[in-house]
Amino acid sequence: MSEEILETQEAAPGEPPETAEQPTAEEFATLRRQMEEEKRKAAESYDQYLRSVAELRNYKKRVEQERELLSREASAGLLAQLLPILDDFDRAMAILPDEQLRRLSWLEGIVLIHRRLQVALEQAGLRPIEALNQPFDPHCHEAILYEEVPAAQDGVVLADLQKGYKLYDRVLRPTLVKVGKAAAPAAGPEETAGPPPTADTPAS
């Protein structure tokens, strides 16, 4: 009896096996639209991610610039107070006695202190402003004296009267200078003789 049941359950020879139902063209189109929509969302998310990364980098850069600016502003006040001390050292170095006396230990100590002060200020961003024999620059120089010179030296700095300094690219104190000024051209005989006489004005 069981053999008869198994025989009835077997498929008839030559009958094709059952296959899965194939999607229709409409279902294909729906799937394609869904894929395109997901691609668009992924592209938007990636673009937003790149923008967020760029904004974060710009923010960090801006914060670093602001921090550096605040640090420089804080240093500017202290350095400005130290400039008169540096001026005193420079004047003292300029009038030091001859080489034999410079070998004295206390003079060597003063020279060493002066040099260490210069190095410390340079490390803080302080730089002297070049002025001597340079064209006068109103942004970096302040003219307090003028001297008559040939035309070739007109507007040239002749003397550095007080050294000026920059803190990085900012002028902390302008250099006080003496500037050459060309003499005005002498008036010619025609300019000094006056207008020619007219019929109403007799010649002298």
Tell the burial category of 22 from Cβ atoms under 10 Å away from its Cβ (0-12, 13-18, 19+): exposed
Q: What was the pLDDT predicted at 30?
A: 84
Q: What was the pLDDT predicted at 6?
A: 46
3-class secondary structure per residue, the chain: CHHHHHHHHCCCCCCCCCCCCCCCHHHHHHHHHHHHHHHHHHHHHHHHHHHHHHHHHHHHHHHHHHHHHHHHHHHHHHHHHHHHHHHHHHHHHHCCCCHHHHCCHHHHHHHHHHHHHHHHHHHCCEEECCCCCCECCCCCEEEEEEEEECHHHCCEEEEEEECCEEECCEEEECEEEEEEEECCCCCCHHHHHCCCCCCCCCCC
Which amino acid is present at 53?
A: V
Task: For residues 149 and 135, give the distance between their C-alpha atoms in angstroms, rounded to a whole number.
Answer: 14
Task: For residues 122 and 124, give the distance between their C-alpha atoms in angstroms, rounded to a whole number.
Answer: 5
Q: What was the pLDDT predicted at 128?
A: 92
What domains appear along the chain, each with residue ranges and CATH number? 130-185 (2.30.22.10)
CA–centroid distance for 141 within its chain: 21
Block means of pLDDT (10 residues each) for the chain, 204 residues, are 49 54 76 86 88 86 77 78 89 75 76 88 89 91 90 89 89 92 67 52 48
Q: Nearest to residue 83, comparing CAs of 167, 139, 165, 168?
A: 165
Q: What was the pLDDT predicted at 201?
A: 47
Q: Are the CB atoms for 114 and 96 separated by under 8 Å?
A: no
Q: What was the pLDDT predicted at 18?
A: 55
Q: What was the pLDDT predicted at 100?
A: 65
Task: For residues 117 and 87, give the distance between their C-alpha atoms in angstroms, rounded to a whole number.
Answer: 11
Q: What was the pLDDT predicted at 28?
A: 76
Model's pTM, two decimal places?
A: 0.56
Task: For residues 183 and 175, give the distance between their C-alpha atoms in angstroms, rounded to a whole number.
Answer: 24
Q: What was the pLDDT predicted at 31?
A: 84
